[in-house]
Structure 1
Amino acid sequence: MSRVLVVEDDPQLVRALRINLQARGFEVDEARDGASALRLAAARRPDAVLLDLGLPDMDGLDVIAGLRGWSRIPVLVLSARHTSEEKVRALDAGADDYVTKPFSMNELLARLRAATRRRPDAAPADRSPLVATEEFTVDLAAKKVTRGGRAVRLTPTEWHLLEILLAHPGHLVSQRKLLLEVWGPTYADNANYLRVYMAQLRRKLEADPSHPRYLITEPGMGYRFEP
């Protein structure tokens, strides 16, 4: 039986989704905010996520980013935001589909069935949301970093860079890819941004920032997280 995580703060819509999903054989988990959604996704490992973008504690795009740091769970966005720009932003962030409110329940369920049918191909890419090294531990679901038992505070930009590198362990991530994903096309050729923020990450995470063990520079090409 497929499990669906519904991330929505409208109680009436949550109730309608739960009734329709359960009637069609889905198991349903519910989250009313982004933080709860990330915790439940890590604990329950749903087969798909139905995600509202307008959550009380964070934007749904941040939830997608948090999920994509460790999982390829299909994400179907349910949103009243109907502009093409909003749809592009969600799809570029990692959403698999975008359904505009109000929507047909039959159409939504058809899209959900299609997403869960594709799920076996995505499952091998999933990994633990917890990345542990001898120096630091990263909980991708909870968006927390600890070192020596103490919390490490990262800026949103530092966190985004770290997530991308952790998603490709042992592999080179090009400077251009990092700049495009973190800062956008306007900064695609500005490697200075990367040097500054990678230096900050190393100061916070590495025992010897001048001789990093985990956050490796490939001169002229990019960076690599070495587990």
Structure 2
Amino acid sequence: MSSRILVAEDDVRQAQVLRMYLESEGHSAVVVHDGRSAIDAARRQRPDLIVLDVMMPKVDGLDVCRILRTESTVPVLMLTARSSEDDLLLGLDLGADDYMTKPYSPRELMARVRTLLRRVERTAAPDDGVLKVGAITVDARRHEVRGASGEIVPCTRGEFTVLSAMAAEPGRVFTRKQLLERTRGWDVSSTERTVDMFILNLRKKLELNPRRPTHLLTVHGVGYKLTAGPEPAGD
């Protein structure tokens, strides 16, 4: 699958390494070295994905992400030398879809790129409103959740809202704040602790072993993600 990738990285050498890896996988890469150019290129090129460094001249990556997220849903993979939890959470709260801390392996970055691009394909969502992630099915029109055996699993409105958001983008890491924003439209009293309770209850309803979840996973220090479950063992 060939995609247009925008690389916004002020380290010229690192940017060229990324370009080489992207082009070796058949993608076309546009490289810029400052935040203002990143905004202009994103608007002009309409890329399928943006690899965005945080520390850039003119406009930093966090502001670039904030600006572009008001205009587009393009996936953003953020690169940061900042390793503190607050900085990583800020990037995700601004709308970044994934992040990597420097130094990083270019091969791992390519794997993240492939994952994000596959997610974009999946979220060109089905017309029937049914989302399926592994053994879990979420039917938005019927407001139904089904588990592994196909039985209807009763969910509260909050649980359904959180699960629907995660099912629309399987594999994406959501912060508690991002999930909370999904529920605020109908329950202004919700808190981030409420999100933890929604996840806990959903695990009890959907996981074979809620203490060892395989679908609703915790990403420590960040939040939660929904996956299809463990890959089948090879021969």
The TM-score by the shorter chain falls in which range? Answer: 0.5 to 0.7
Aligned to 1:113: 114
Aligned to 2:5: 4
Please state if 1:75 is matched with 2:76. Answer: yes
Alpha carbons of 1:102 and 1:86: their partners in 2 closer, same or farther (altered >3 Å)? same
Aligned to 1:103: 104
SS in 2 for 1:49: strand
- Report the Cα offset of residue 120 of structure 1: 3.2
Percent identity over the alignment is 43
SS in 1 for 2:110: helix
Residue type of the partner of 1:53? V
Residue type of the partner of 2:62? L
SS in 2 for 1:119: helix
Aligned to 1:133: none
Q: Deviations over 1:92-136 (max 9, x none)?
A: 010000100110111111110010111235569xxxxxxxxxxxx
Aligned to 1:18: 19
How far apart are the structure 2 equivalents of 1:41 and 1:106? 24
Larger fraction in helix: 1
SS in 1 for 2:40: helix
Aligned to 2:37: 36
Unaligned runs of 5+ in 1: 125-172, 178-227
How far apart are the structure 1 equivalents of 2:74 and 2:51? 11
How far apart are the structure 1 equivalents of 2:84 and 2:119? 27
- Report the Cα offset of residue 43 of structure 1: 1.1
Q: Deviations over 1:52-105 (max 9, x none)?
A: 001111221110011111111100011111111110000001000010011011
Aligned to 1:48: 49
Question: Over aligned residues, Cα RMSD in angstroms?
Answer: 2.2
SS in 2 for 1:118: helix
How far apart are the structure 2 equivalents of 1:32 and 1:103? 19
- Report the Cα offset of residue 42 of structure 1: 1.0
TM normalised by structure 1 equals 0.53
Q: Deviations over 1:23-52 (max 9, x none)?
A: 111100011111111111111111110000
How far apart are the structure 1 equivalents of 2:123 and 2:75? 8
For 1:1-227, list aligned pairs within 5 A. 1-120=2-121
TM normalised by structure 2 equals 0.51
How far apart are the structure 2 equivalents of 1:29 and 1:4? 6
Alpha carbons of 1:26 and 1:78: their partners in 2 closer, same or farther (altered >3 Å)? same
How far apart are the structure 1 equivalents of 2:20 and 2:88? 27
SS in 2 for 1:89: helix
Structure 1 segments of 4+ aligned residues over 2 angstroms from their partners: 120-124
